[in-house]
Structure 1
Amino acid sequence: MIADSTPFEPIIDKRDHHGPGEVQGNIDALARLFPDAVVDGTVDLDVLADLIGQKTDRKGSESFGLRWPGMNEARRLSAQPATQTLLPRPDESVDWDTTRNIVIEGDNLEILRLLRRSYTGAVDVIYIDPPYNTGNDFVYDDRFRSSRAEIETTAGLRDENGTLESGVASNLSADRRAGSSRHSKWLSMIYPRLLLAHHLLKETGAIIVAIDDIEHARLRLTLDRVFGAENFIANLVWQGGRKNDAQFVSPSIDYMLIYVKNAGALADIKWREPKPGLESILAAGRKAWDDSGGNSIEATRLIKKWWSSLPADDPRRASAHYNEIDGQDGRPGVVYFAGDLRSPNPRPNLQYDIMHPVTGKPVNMHPNGWVYERPRMNQLLKEGRIKFGKDESLRPTFKRYLDETSTQSVLPNFYMDRRAASKRLERLLGADVFTYPKDETVLARWIKLVTRSNSDALVLDFFAGSGSTGHAVMDLNAADGGNRRYILVQLDEPVNKDGYTTIADITRERLRRAGAQIAQQRTLDAQDIDTGFRSYKLADSNVKPWDGTAELNLLESVDNLVGGRGTDDLLVEMMLRLGIDLVTPVATREVAGSTLYSLAGTLYAFFGSDLDVAKADEVARAIVRWREEDPVDSDVTVVVRDTGFRDSGAKLNLAAALRQAGVTTLRSI
């Protein structure tokens, strides 16, 4: 075995902590921008402050913004490199070989750190519904365990002897201290995860965070800190029902805070959605025209009667101002509303006479003038788009046709009874096993909106719960034939309900059943909808005894792998360390008694063991032959198992054969 110099650079190494957002990666980024501020790998904060034009004196506790005991430690957690890995679980998956969806079970902080290298700047939208702060212990404690006494000490509420400040002058009640501890712990849970989420979003990406009243204010300040207040988009208000037994007001509102990664990158973008029930409104207009015998006045009366017949909560009522029917110029039955023609500001070039078609006199003009200049107004008059009153005393209006304005901006408040989602999930799973699931129809609406109907969007949810986000993505694809994909992360939180051991079990089963249901209902035009998912589980690294802080000690054992792990497990860890998308196509061949992997022809991996010179030569020939069969324009990388060789001669022989064939990037795990 080789313990000294090696022709293969190790993937897992203390020198390999340079990924985006990791500690060394952040220092490297600063060094590229401000080389004078980084000396021997250490950041000189005074020099950095000078270079960016800031004063070097440190701001104390008076600096603006949300702060809490434990905040600095929580921030440091986000920058630590990942030390664990993901184990593939094909037996829990659906369509493993073809699907591009991913479900991961385990703590989402470590999983986000693992995903950082492969998915930085790759995610279009993140939706999360983090656990609300109910006062119970958090299942996400991130090895960041603070007792109330520790919180009080950090906050300066206890002296050096640990005695709690008290007395008649103190205004710190026991309840306030308990609240401070509870809020601090919740913020320390969500903060590092949001920092990691920021890395994963595209520049044009958006994050939607669901929350209730208890942490709403603090969450918004935290999001301002992570994403920037200038990137705040909306505070959505979701009215989900009514509780008539409330003492003051019904606590039936949830919020969804929306931020974007970079509002400047969306400067020319407008978020729009189709007007609800558009086709049925247009159909009602055509029917009114037909029933009226082609009479505009009677058709208008009929369409107004149709509008009044709709229930008060019918979403189509948002377009009820389109209540007139036009029959001119080959557009019989077209619904429109009469819009204002006045200019918002007085301008001389917009002040001119328009003659009434019956009286021949100038019509009543607003003092500001018309909204259009004379050439445009003449064109609209010619097209019959101007509606006149009975005489010149009435101001004319502009016919705004509904079929020309089929989309609308979105209001930040909406109603959707939460009970409907619970009932649908209960029917799907055949039992009531999950309380208050998020409504997949609501999520689909907002995911589609913030991604501008991008049919190839990547959607991430790292508080997956019952899997509503994955269900919503599949529904969207089924509706428009899209290729959106999702990554869901759910902690293995125990539930012990009707055969489900953890919430992650519910997540996977919901996706299986929802996918099967969608597959049964899809049309011939939507046969390629991806209703599968790959399942992974967080686990300790396949390689021992690495803890993320030092190089492997290969002298301790000939076999540096954890017992029971296979080559597929090693492949996944290699992909995570090298920043490769987990759904990258993988082809395999059997060589020298083990599996040789090819990832899109640009990376070959072989994790076989006990290779002598002859077998090493066999592996080298197989790689070179495969590369010649499927040539690529880019460089080729080869990864091997570091302890897979019988002696140093076999390892050197493989490296020499590959280099002779032009393969110079050699890595080991």
Structure 2
Amino acid sequence: MTTPADNDSIEYAPIEEMSGRGEAADNVARLAEMFPDAVTDGRVDLEVLRGLLGDDAEPAGSETSGLRWVGMAEARRLSTLPATGTLLPRPDESVDWDSTRNIVVEGDNLEVLRLLRRGYTNAVDVIYIDPPYNTTNDFVYDDSRVSTLAEHEADAGLRDDEGATQVGTGSDRAEERRLASARHAKWLSMMYPRLLVAHSLLKETGVLIAAIDDNEHSRLKLLLDRVFGAENFAANVVWQGRGKNDARFSAGGLDYMLVYAKNKARLTEEDVRWKEPKRGYDDVVDAARQAWTSSGGDPEKATTAFRDWWRTKPDTETGLQAYSEIDETGRVFTRGPLASPNPRENLMYDLLHPVSGQAVPMHPNGWRYSRETMDELVKDGRILFGADHTTAPRRKLLLQEQDAQAIRSLVSYDRSNGTELLIGLLGTNVFDNPKAPVVLARWISAVTSGKKDATVLDFFAGSGSTGHAVMDLNAADGGNRRYMLVQLDEEVAKDGYDTIADITRERLRRAGKKIAENLTLESSGIDLGFRSYRLASSNLKPWDGTGEINLIESADNLVEGRSTDDLLVEMMLRLGIELTTPVETREVAGSTLYNLGGGTLYAYFGENVTTEQSIEVARALVQWRDENPVDSDVTIVVRDSGFVDSSAKLNLDAAVKQAGFTTFRSI
């Protein structure tokens, strides 16, 4: 193995020293670009920065409105720290590892989000989360650097060196109030850094949907106002489940979904509209088709039969019931107004009857459309004239144009349906109150405007309802949406499942198999697999949590039991490469040579590489590069402690540079 002295002649930039978006070092670097006078030797002078910002900067210690809690500053700091761990690939737990683009990660979601940040910044279309509802003191997500109850009380002035204190003379402050205050602060400190990192993962057109109940609804709303900006609030969805008749006050049974856009103004500029299918629309279309067929193509008979069907009171959106006529081509329609809602002189003109040629009655406000648009509507048969010019015309509104509506912010769906679905899949009740995929699919589809290649993230994955919903959507329209799920390795020890993450993976396996049994020709090729990963400490021994590694001081810097495949994933995370990037391999000089992204990056992590072997590696790199030439720069990553001596490293370096490779990294 090499020693520090051996490698003094060649130093490749270590990928461990890189920083990513949202991390503290990168934030300082960006400030230095914008305000160089405020940053000296990597340190920010806040007073100088305030001066450069002028009157828009709040002075230190000023009072501002908004949510505050003990531990807030520390929670914010957690979001800026670089990740120190890695993800271990688990093909044995996966489905269709080589072809799938879906990801399931087991481990603490804050560290996982920090690991994903470099590769998935501005890459996610929609985030759906169903975080813990904070109803008990048994709080699972307990970041080690978030304040304890005692620390919270000390910071809030409720505890001194001798223990808990009272407030005011003779105060009998209730114990539960102290506990509740700390619990709310702890919950907020858990959510805050995770939401900050998640915000950076969303595209500018992305949307977050956060489920919550009454306990933290008000605080979560204020917290999301802080993270996303109150101007980006989009909807407060009420989910009405099963109420309780014996409740003391209201029947309850309510959950909520707070919906925020990352950039609401951008969505408005692009005229984005969140639509959903109208309830019962397909039933109406089928009934009209049957009426047309049974009538032999007679519009009067078809209309009579269709109206008879409406009298059976089918379960549809109320607005659809107005569509009760069938025209001579079999299209269902209703009659709408042609009057302008407000007086407009430019919309006041003569509209001539097609038979008499005389002007028909016009509303005092004028027509709804310009003359040019009106002429097109007349030409297309979309204006319904009366028998003569004495009758005011009407607009023909077609049912085929009314299949969608603005999504409703009230959801009426019993949560027990989600439970029954999961029991049907797993054969046992192992997870309390899972969300129903049908509701999640409805909202995911709406906020992505039906985008078929949307990327969906859920970092409180639970039983995997979000992944199930994504697969259901793809099965319905042949889409290639993909999901990324993160679930804590929370113990459950129930019916053969050790952790909730075990339930997540098994639910996805069984749901995929069930969906596969009912695929259509259009959806036959959808992705029903997933790649499984588990959060772990770095593959490199010297990692001490500071973000800096001295790779050369250790003769064998790879953790025992870890493989070069594991090291490859860590390299991808550090360099910001998506985990499902295509990887090809060849065995060269006793180790694996990796080719990522069709030849844009090569990695070789062999150890004890001799001079002869380094020449063999160089030849393999050149040959593979020449077989798959790319227009972009090509990067080579090597294991810096993997060479027998400096001669071996020098030979590899000289050979690849001579062949035109210019970018090198080490790990």
From 523, 545, 554, the equivalent of 1:526 is: 523
From 281, 288, 293, the equivalent of 1:285 is: 288
Residues 613 and 650 in structure 1, CA contact (< 8 A), matched pair in contact too: yes
1:640 is aligned to 638
1:190 is aligned to 191
Structure 1 residues 369 and 171: alpha-carbon distance in aligned structure 2, compared to 1, 3 A threshold: farther
Find the aligned partners of 1:95 and 1:30 in 2 and give their Cα distance: 44
**2:237 pairs with 1:236:** yes
What amino acid sits opposite 1:538 in the alignment?
A: L
Q: What is the number of residues matched between the two proteins?
A: 661
1:65 is aligned to 66
Structure 1 SS opposite 2:630: coil
Shift of 1:242: 2.6
Percent same amino acid at aligned positions? 61
1:624 is aligned to 622
* CA shift digits 1:443-473 (9 cap, x unpaired): 1111111112221111111111111111111
Within 5 A, what are the aligned runs for 1:243-282? 243-266=244-267, 267-268=269-270, 269-282=272-285
Residues 300 and 323 in structure 1, CA contact (< 8 A), matched pair in contact too: no
Within 5 A, what are the aligned runs for 1:51-130? 51-54=52-55, 58-60=59-61, 62-130=63-131
Residues 655 and 666 in structure 1, CA contact (< 8 A), matched pair in contact too: no
Within 5 A, what are the aligned runs for 1:245-644? 245-266=246-267, 267-268=269-270, 269-288=272-291, 300=303, 302-311=305-314, 314=315, 316-327=316-327, 330-332=328-330, 334-351=331-348, 365-374=362-371, 376-377=373-374, 380=377, 384-387=381-384, 396-549=393-546, 551-554=548-551, 556-599=553-596, 600-644=598-642
Shift of 1:290: 5.8
Structure 1 residues 280 and 647: alpha-carbon distance in aligned structure 2, compared to 1, 3 A threshold: same
Find the aligned partners of 1:109 and 1:662 in 2 and give their Cα distance: 40
Find the aligned partners of 1:64 and 1:179 in 2 and give their Cα distance: 22
Structure 1 residues 187 and 649: alpha-carbon distance in aligned structure 2, compared to 1, 3 A threshold: same
Find the aligned partners of 1:8 and 1:86 in 2 and give their Cα distance: 27
Find the aligned partners of 2:13 and 2:30 in 1 and give their Cα distance: 23
Structure 1 residues 355 and 298: alpha-carbon distance in aligned structure 2, compared to 1, 3 A threshold: farther
Structure 1 residues 391 and 136: alpha-carbon distance in aligned structure 2, compared to 1, 3 A threshold: farther
Find the aligned partners of 2:326 and 2:590 in 1 and give their Cα distance: 78
Residues 285 and 325 in structure 1, CA contact (< 8 A), matched pair in contact too: no
With 566-575 and 260-269 compared, the bigger mean Cα shift is at 260-269
Normalization by structure 1: what TM-score?
Answer: 0.92
* CA shift digits 1:185-242 (9 cap, x unpaired): 1100011000000111111111111111111111111111111111111111111223
1:138 is aligned to 139
What amino acid sits opposite 1:520 in the alignment?
A: E
Residues 585 and 594 in structure 2, CA contact (< 8 A), matched pair in contact too: yes
Shift of 1:245: 1.9
Shift of 1:7: 2.4
What amino acid sits opposite 1:594 in the alignment?
A: S
From 637, 647, 650, the equivalent of 1:652 is: 650
Find the aligned partners of 1:55 and 1:36 in 2 and give their Cα distance: 18
Structure 2 SS opposite 1:166: coil
Residues 323 and 399 in structure 2, CA contact (< 8 A), matched pair in contact too: no
Structure 1 residues 523 and 399: alpha-carbon distance in aligned structure 2, compared to 1, 3 A threshold: closer
Residues 444 and 475 in structure 1, CA contact (< 8 A), matched pair in contact too: yes
Find the aligned partners of 1:97 and 1:379 in 2 and give their Cα distance: 53
Structure 1 residues 308 and 239: alpha-carbon distance in aligned structure 2, compared to 1, 3 A threshold: farther
Residues 454 and 481 in structure 2, CA contact (< 8 A), matched pair in contact too: yes
Shift of 1:156: 2.9
Structure 2 SS opposite 1:510: helix
Residues 27 and 43 in structure 1, CA contact (< 8 A), matched pair in contact too: yes
Shift of 1:379: 5.2
Structure 1 SS opposite 2:517: helix
Residues 50 and 59 in structure 2, CA contact (< 8 A), matched pair in contact too: no
Structure 1 residues 388 and 145: alpha-carbon distance in aligned structure 2, compared to 1, 3 A threshold: same
* CA shift digits 1:148-206 (9 cap, x unpaired): 33222212334576552334685954333222111111100011000000111111111
Find the aligned partners of 1:287 and 1:507 in 2 and give their Cα distance: 44
Shift of 1:526: 2.9
Shift of 1:351: 4.0
Shift of 1:77: 0.2
Find the aligned partners of 1:121 and 1:229 in 2 and give their Cα distance: 20
With 151-160 and 487-496 compared, the bigger mean Cα shift is at 151-160
Shift of 1:391: 9.6
2:222 is aligned to 221
What amino acid sits opposite 1:659 in the alignment?
A: K
Residues 7 and 666 in structure 1, CA contact (< 8 A), matched pair in contact too: no
Find the aligned partners of 2:427 and 2:311 in 1 and give their Cα distance: 40
Find the aligned partners of 2:513 and 2:628 in 1 and give their Cα distance: 36
Find the aligned partners of 2:384 and 2:281 in 1 and give their Cα distance: 23
Shift of 1:341: 2.4
* CA shift digits 1:501-554 (9 cap, x unpaired): 000000111111111122232234333211111111001101012124264345
Shift of 1:253: 1.4
Find the aligned partners of 2:633 and 2:81 in 1 and give their Cα distance: 30
Unaligned runs of 5+ residues in structure 1 are none
2:660 is aligned to 662
Structure 1 residues 29 and 363: alpha-carbon distance in aligned structure 2, compared to 1, 3 A threshold: same
Structure 1 SS opposite 2:216: helix
* CA shift digits 1:50-100 (9 cap, x unpaired): 222336663536311101100000000000000001111111111111111
Find the aligned partners of 2:171 and 2:297 in 1 and give their Cα distance: 81
What amino acid sits opposite 2:68 in the alignment?
A: R
Find the aligned partners of 1:176 and 1:154 in 2 and give their Cα distance: 16
What amino acid sits opposite 1:397 in the alignment?
A: R
Residues 613 and 649 in structure 1, CA contact (< 8 A), matched pair in contact too: yes
2:39 is aligned to 38
Residues 552 and 641 in structure 2, CA contact (< 8 A), matched pair in contact too: no
Structure 2 SS opposite 1:126: strand
Residues 491 and 504 in structure 1, CA contact (< 8 A), matched pair in contact too: yes
What amino acid sits opposite 1:320 in the alignment?
A: L
Residues 46 and 56 in structure 1, CA contact (< 8 A), matched pair in contact too: no
* CA shift digits 1:294-326 (9 cap, x unpaired): 776765554444234235xx3x23433433314
Residues 440 and 471 in structure 1, CA contact (< 8 A), matched pair in contact too: yes
Residues 455 and 484 in structure 1, CA contact (< 8 A), matched pair in contact too: yes
What amino acid sits opposite 1:629 in the alignment?
A: E
Residues 281 and 320 in structure 2, CA contact (< 8 A), matched pair in contact too: no
Structure 1 residues 459 and 8: alpha-carbon distance in aligned structure 2, compared to 1, 3 A threshold: farther
What amino acid sits opposite 1:319 in the alignment?
A: G
With 339-348 and 587-596 compared, the bigger mean Cα shift is at 339-348
Find the aligned partners of 2:9 and 2:495 in 1 and give their Cα distance: 54
Find the aligned partners of 2:357 and 2:15 in 1 and give their Cα distance: 87
Find the aligned partners of 1:386 and 1:553 in 2 and give their Cα distance: 78
2:176 is aligned to 175
Residues 103 and 484 in structure 2, CA contact (< 8 A), matched pair in contact too: yes
* CA shift digits 1:566-611 (9 cap, x unpaired): 1111111111111111111111111111111111211111111111
Residues 303 and 323 in structure 1, CA contact (< 8 A), matched pair in contact too: no
Shift of 1:355: 7.6
Find the aligned partners of 1:409 and 1:528 in 2 and give their Cα distance: 31
Find the aligned partners of 2:388 and 2:662 in 1 and give their Cα distance: 86
